[in-house]
Amino acid sequence: METLIDSHCGAQLFAIDVKDFPKDATVLRQNVEFQNIDIRDENAVKSYVRAHKFDGIVHLAAVSRVVAAENDKKNCIETNFQGTKYLAEAAAENPDCWIIFGSSREVYGEQSVFPVKENAELLPLNVYGFYKLEGERIVRSLVRKNCVLRFSNIYGNLYDIHGRVIPTFVSTAIKGGEIRLESGEQIIDFTYIDDTVASIIQCMKMLQSGDIDAETVHISPGVANKITDIIDILRDMGFKFAVRKNPPRSYDVQRFVGDTVHRQQIFGDRSFIGLREGIGKLIKLVRQKS
């Protein structure tokens, strides 16, 4: 959102969340009108959207981790599906209101042909992927002007939730200790947050101007990084830590690399930040903050 504010797009910005903005996020606090709303509350969501007559909605609220969805399926269904339905129904009351739905590469599940194209058969393997797919379907069926963006393992956000791969590895590397790998064999198309945000902003502008409509695009660099590449990069940077390998978890997808052709057709062929550079940027940010 800070990037959106910096881009001077001239739009008035509103945000809802069950959590408040971080205390030190002063730019957000000064530039975005915030309201504490739980998207599981149908009345609250619908009266808020009705009252504001938005040009568009970027819907990112979610139980956003695979493991959290497995551990609390009810909350995942209520938030990622029901909450999405309430928002989509509210958006649909105004035919000019567009919506961007923040979906995930988890909707593809375990594929056998790489890179994965957007029209691959959708075979979600876990609760999170299943309800992201249901969320996509409800948004597409209810809102005329829509775009589904399927994100892939975003990193680089200082306010990221605890437990995600790269923030956890980076913080362990900085503090010392043991990095735990679940299987250690995963291939992941990691995406630096600035590239994700730039794609969302571009999508907002194109939906607003009517240049795109009803698109499904995955947003990732299209690079097959081994999870152990992160370990190698951190060790090359001089960090010292132990590594322990656990058996794979049944609900984790082991391999994903997104095809970038459709993204480039829609949003242009801007190159995405590589893993080594992105980890370097994150480490710099963490050190500046502490």
Ligand X SMILES: NC(=O)c1ccc[n+]([C@@H]2O[C@H](COP(=O)([O-])OP(=O)(O)OC[C@H]3O[C@@H](n4cnc5c(N)ncnc54)[C@H](O)[C@@H]3O)[C@@H](O)[C@H]2O)c1
Shortest distance, CB of residue 42 to ligand X, whole angstroms?
Answer: 12
Give the DSSP per-residue string, 167-204. HHHHHHHHH-SEEEEESS--EE--EEHHHHHHHHHHHH
Handedness of CA 160, 30, 101, 264 (dihedral sign): negative
- How many residues make contact with ligand X (CB under 6 A)? 18
Tokens of 110: 């375990």
103 or 172: whose CB is closer to ligand X?
A: 103
Confirm or reject binding of residue 39 to ligand X (CB under 6 A). Answer: yes
State the DSSP code for 81: I
Distance CA 215, CA 218 (A): 10
Site residues for ligand X, window 187-246 (CB under 6 A)? Answer: none
C-beta neighbour count of 282 within 10 angstroms? 21
- Rule CB under 6 A: choose which of 69, 142, 148, 154 binds ligand X: 154
- Rule CB under 6 A: choose which of 5, 25, 28, 60 binds ligand X: 60
Shortest distance, CB of residue 16 to ligand X, whole angstroms?
Answer: 6
- Rule CB under 6 A: choose which of 49, 58, 61, 275 binds ligand X: 61
24 or 96: whose CB is closer to ligand X?
A: 24
Confirm or reject binding of residue 86 to ligand X (CB under 6 A). Answer: no
Shortest distance, CB of residue 242 to ligand X, whole angstroms?
Answer: 25
- Rule CB under 6 A: choose which of 48, 49, 64, 109 binds ligand X: 64
- Rule CB under 6 A: choose which of 82, 104, 146, 260 binds ligand X: 104
- Rule CB under 6 A: choose which of 82, 111, 146, 153 binds ligand X: 153
Site residues for ligand X, window 110-139 (CB under 6 A)? Answer: none
Shortest distance, CB of residue 46 to ligand X, whole angstroms?
Answer: 14
Confirm or reject binding of residue 66 to ligand X (CB under 6 A). Answer: no
Tokens of 267: 């949003």
Tokens of 93: 């009351």
Confirm or reject binding of residue 102 to ligand X (CB under 6 A). Answer: yes
Q: Where are the beta strands (DSSP E) in the chain?
A: 13-17, 32-36, 56-59, 98-104, 146-151, 154-155, 178-182, 187-188, 191-192, 215-219, 225-226, 242-246
Residue type, 250: S
Shortest distance, CB of residue 101 to ligand X, whole angstroms?
Answer: 8
- Rule CB under 6 A: choose which of 38, 89, 194, 229 binds ligand X: 38
10 or 124: whose CB is closer to ligand X?
A: 124
Distance CA 167, CA 155 (A): 7
Q: What 3-state DSSP class applies to 276?
A: helix
For the chain, the straight-line distance linking the first and the last C-alpha, in angstroms and rounded, comes to: 22
State the DSSP code for 83: I
The footprint of ligand X (CB under 6 A) covers 17-19, 38-40, 60-62, 64, 79, 83, 102, 104, 151, 153-154, 161
